[in-house]
C-alpha cells in the first residue's frame, strides 16, 4: 500500500516538473535566452560514472520534456499564425492588389515623365539654340556700339585736326598750338 501512496506523489512531481519545463521553454522563447533551458537539461547530467545510470534517465526525461514543450509551442504558434492569416486574408489580398495597382500607376508615371522629358528636350533645343544666337547678337551689338563710339571720337579728332590745319594756314600758330595741346589732353 505504501507503493501506491508513492505513485501519486511521483505523478504530482512529474506534473510540476512538466509545468516548470513548459514555463522555462516559454520564457526562453519570449526572452530569447536559452540559458535556463540549458541549466534544466544539464541538471540531469551525471557527475561520475557510478551515478550515470539513474541520472541518464532523469536527464533524458528532462530533455524529452523540453522537446515535447517545444513541439507543443511550435504547433501552438503555427496555429496562431494560421488563424491570423485566415482572419486577414482579404486584407492581405486587397493590399497585394493595391500594390499591383500602385506598380502599374508608377509605371504609367514613369512613361509620362519620359514623354515629358522628350518633349522638353525637343522644344528646349530650339530655345537653347535661339538663346545662343541671341547672346551672340548681343555681343555683336556691343561691338557695333563700341565701333560707333570710336568712329564718333575719331570724327571729333579729325574735325579738331582740320581746325588746327586751318589755323596753321592762317598763320595763327599760337592758337593752333593751344588747340593741339587740347587735342593731346582729351583724345590721346
Structure confidence by residue, pLDDT tens digits, 33-79: 777 777 777 776 544 444 444 444 445 556 787 788 888 888 988 99
pLDDT > 90 in the chain, percent: 34
Q: Nine-digit cell at 3? A: 507503493
The alpha-helical segments, DSSP class H, found in the chain are 2-31, 35-43, 52-87, 89-169, 173-187
pLDDT for the residue 122: 87
- For helices 52-87 and 89-169, give the axis angle rounded to 10 degrees: 70
Element (H, E) at 34: none
Q: How far apart are CA 156 and CA 49, in angstroms?
A: 128
Q: How far apart are CA 21 and CA 38, in angstroms?
A: 11
pLDDT for the residue 44: 60
Q: ∠ CA 151-152-156 to the nearest 5 degrees? A: 115
Where residue 172 falls (left for φ over 0; alpha for ψ -120 to 50; beta otherwise) is beta
Amino acid at each position: 500500500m505504501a507503493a501506491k501512496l508513492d505513485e501519486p506523489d511521483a505523478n504530482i512531481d512529474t506534473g510540476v516538473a512538466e509545468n516548470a519545463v513548459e514555463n522555462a521553454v516559454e520564457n526562453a522563447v519570449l526572452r530569447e535566452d536559452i540559458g535556463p533551458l540549458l541549466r534544466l537539461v544539464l541538471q540531469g547530467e551525471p557527475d561520475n560514472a557510478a551515478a550515470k545510470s539513474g541520472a541518464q534517465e532523469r536527464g533524458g526525461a528532462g530533455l524529452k520534456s523540453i522537446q515535447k514543450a517545444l513541439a507543443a509551442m511550435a504547433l501552438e504558434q503555427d496555429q496562431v499564425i494560421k488563424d491570423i492569416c485566415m482572419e486577414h486574408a482579404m486584407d492581405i489580398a486587397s493590399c497585394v492588389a493595391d500594390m499591383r495597382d500602385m506598380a502599374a500607376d508608377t509605371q504609367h508615371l514613369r512613361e509620362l515623365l519620359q514623354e515629358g522629358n522628350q518633349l522638353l528636350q525637343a522644344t528646349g533645343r530650339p530655345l537653347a539654340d535661339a538663346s545662343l544666337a541671341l547672346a551672340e547678337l548681343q555681343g555683336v551689338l556691343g561691338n557695333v556700339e563700341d565701333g560707333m563710339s570710336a568712329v564718333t571720337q575719331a570724327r571729333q579728332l579729325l574735325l579738331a585736326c582740320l581746325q588746327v590745319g586751318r589755323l596753321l594756314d592762317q598763320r595763327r600758330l599760337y592758337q593752333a598750338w593751344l588747340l593741339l595741346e587740347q587735342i593731346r589732353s582729351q583724345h590721346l
